[in-house]
Amino acid sequence: MVNSKKSILERYRTLLESNLILTDDLLNWLREKRVFPDFVVDDIKAVSSPKERNKKFLTVIIDNGDAAFTKLAEGLIANGQPFLGELLESEDKKASEHTADASERVIIDDETLKRCPGVDKLRADARDKLKTYLQELVLKAHLGDTWKTQNQNKSVEVINLKRQHYETQHKLNETLEE
């Protein structure tokens, strides 16, 4: 799993564990999309506590990579939990925009490496690997600083408002159906 998607799930893990409702529809939808095999769904359903079930579910999603993250967001939207699905999608979009912006600005070239003692003695392929590694570290540090400066409380407020709106809309629909 790409670190940005994994970090999104880790950042919102408590929120997801508390607010995620693992319905049979959602689990069957994810099974149909081949996110994970049948026995995993059975293992998740076997857990008695909803919060523990959600913990196990999120661990499985993280272990199954990027496609699982994307399908989770789609599945939440398609199966009655759009506030959580839209949150994951918007956070993923923000992370990819920040990564694209930062990767264009963070460039470690040969001139920068020449300033480091002993680098000139490395083979060309080792120097390229070092350059890539250093660039990834700088990018990771930049993204970490960027995420820290953003106000995460606003995202939680937006989720709560969307959830309240969804619940109100759901109650109105039930009232109209009766």
Digit-coded pLDDT (tens) for 135-150: 777 777 766 665 555 5
Q: Is the full-model pTM beyond 0.85?
A: no
Domain residue limits, the chain: 3-177
What's the confidence (pLDDT) of residue 55? 93
Report the amino acid identity of residue 80: G
Architecture in CATH of 3-177:
Orthogonal Bundle (1.10)
Cβ partners under 8 Å of residue 108, min gap 6:
131, 134, 135, 138
d(CA 160, CA 11): 16
Comparing 23-32, 70-79, 94-103, 128-137, the range with the smallest average pLDDT is 94-103
What are the contacts of 51-55 at 24+ separation with CB within 8 A?
A: 51/17, 51/18, 53/22, 54/16, 54/17, 54/18, 54/20, 54/22, 55/17
d(CA 35, CA 61): 8
